[in-house]
């Protein structure tokens, strides 16, 4: 016998289920199509003509694409490490200390989040041109312009996330550590940083994904020898949307999801069911 849904069992109502389904289709149909058509055996990416992994091989054989991918990963890693450190320190300073113009400082730190990316991009371009940042440096150092630009828009995100985490810190924990003999540094190391950790992981993830797929700001700060993955894809799409582009994009999606899953797993393991 079928039991009729209770007043709060929304997930058992047909219309709610339909809305849910529509939402998921809306969110994921384009991505699913992109992934599916990366296996399409056709040069023109419009009609399904059979399964192949040929375009993955083509993508891997494309030196320009692989180089751009390497550049993107390197930039994302460097930007993540630096912006996580900077963001964490900023958040700690804003949380721990009271000083004049603190609300203003807090606002200024958050500003890059709301400034339109196109303006950030132009500003970066003008800035590097004005100070005469050399454009012809040897390879890894040649990425420094993009990396610096990425750090500048990534670290506020880290700061926001870590700051939110710190606002839930129980001050008695720090006092208990002090009372038990810990100096200022030991309190930070043994109590505050462990509390910040979920925020650090989340912030670092955010920074990594933001940096990895940023197009606008990167476009303004990259040179002919420093092409990143999104910029490369853009230049490929300008000629034609081939399954090769789909394949490369799928790889990027897989990398992002993998990193996210690993980070979340690490976080769960270290917390071992502790209340948030």
Partner 1 sequence: MTEAVRVDGICKRFGAVIALADVSLRIEAGEFFALLGPSGCGKSTLLRIMAGLEHPDRGSVFIDGIDVGRTPANRRPVNMVFQSYALFPHMSVRSNVAYGLRVTGTGRAEAHERAEAALGLVRLAGYGERMPDQLSGGESQRVALARALVKRPRVLLLDEPLSALDARLRDEMRLELVSLQKTVGITFIIVTHDQEEALSMADRVAVMEAGSIRQVAPPAELYEAPADRFVATFIGQVNLFPATVEADGIATAHPFPGVTAKSRGTGAAHQAWIAVRPEKITMAPGGSTPAGRLSGVVEEVVYRGDLSLYLVRCMPGPDGLVRVSRANAARTADRLPGPGAEVVLDWPEDCAVVLAS
Q: Which residues bind partner 1 (CB under 8 A)?
A: 170, 172-173, 175-183, 186, 190-191, 194-195, 197, 270-275
Minimum Å gap between C-beta 92 and partner 1 is 17
- Nearest CA among 108, 194, 118 for reference residue 156: 108
Nearer to partner 1, 63 or 179 (CB): 179
- Nearest CA among 215, 210, 217, 211 for reference residue 125: 217
Nearer to partner 1, 136 or 172 (CB): 172
Minimum Å gap between C-beta 180 and partner 1 is 3
Minimum Å gap between C-beta 190 and partner 1 is 7
Nearer to partner 1, 151 or 191 (CB): 191
Nearer to partner 1, 103 or 273 (CB): 273
Residues in the chain: 276
- Nearest CA among 40, 34, 80, 36 for reference residue 233: 34
DSSP three-state, residue 180? coil
Minimum Å gap between C-beta 262 and partner 1 is 20
Question: What does the radius of gyration of the chain's CA atoms come to, in whole angstroms?
Answer: 23
Nearer to partner 1, 187 or 248 (CB): 187
| Gap between the Cα atoms of 195 and 166, Å rounded | 8
What is the secondary structure of 19-68 as a DSSP string? HHHHHHHHHHHHHHHHHHHTTB--SSTTS---B--HHHHHHHH-HHHHHH
Minimum Å gap between C-beta 184 and partner 1 is 9
Q: Which two tokens stand for residue 90?
A: 């900023």
Minimum Å gap between C-beta 167 and partner 1 is 16
Nearer to partner 1, 113 or 176 (CB): 176
């Amino acid at each position: 016998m079928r039991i009729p849904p209770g007043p709060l069992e929304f997930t058992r109502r047909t219309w709610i289920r339909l809305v849910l389904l529509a939402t998921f289709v809306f969110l994921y149909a384009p991505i699913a199509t992109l992934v599916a058509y990366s296996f399409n055996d056709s040069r023109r990416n419009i009609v399904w003509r059979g399964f192949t992994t040929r375009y993955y091989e083509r993508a891997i054989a494309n030196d320009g694409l692989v180089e751009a991918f390497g550049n993107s990963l390197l930039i994302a890693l460097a930007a993540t490490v630096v912006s996580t450190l900077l963001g964490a320190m900023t958040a700690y300073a804003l949380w721990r200390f009271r000083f004049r113009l603190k609300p203003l400082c807090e606002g200024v730190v958050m500003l890059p989040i709301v400034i339109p990316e196109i303006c950030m991009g132009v500003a970066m371009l003008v800035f590097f041109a004005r100070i005469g940042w050399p454009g012809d440096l040897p390879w890894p150092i040649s990425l420094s312009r993009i990396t610096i630009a990425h750090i500048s828009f990534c670290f506020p995100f880290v700061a926001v996330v870590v700051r939110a985490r710190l606002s839930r810190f129980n001050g008695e924990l720090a006092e208990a550590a002090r009372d038990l003999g810990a100096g200022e540094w030991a309190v930070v190391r043994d109590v505050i940083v462990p509390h910040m950790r979920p925020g650090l992981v989340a912030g670092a993830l955010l920074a990594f994904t933001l940096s990895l797929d940023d197009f606008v700001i990167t476009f303004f700060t990259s040179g002919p020898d420093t092409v990143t993955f999104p910029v490369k894809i853009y230049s490929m799409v300008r000629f034609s949307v081939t399954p090769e582009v789909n394949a490369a994009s799928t790889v990027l999606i897989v990398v992002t999801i993998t990193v996210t899953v690993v980070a979340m797993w690490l976080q769960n393991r270290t917390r071992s069911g502790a209340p948030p």
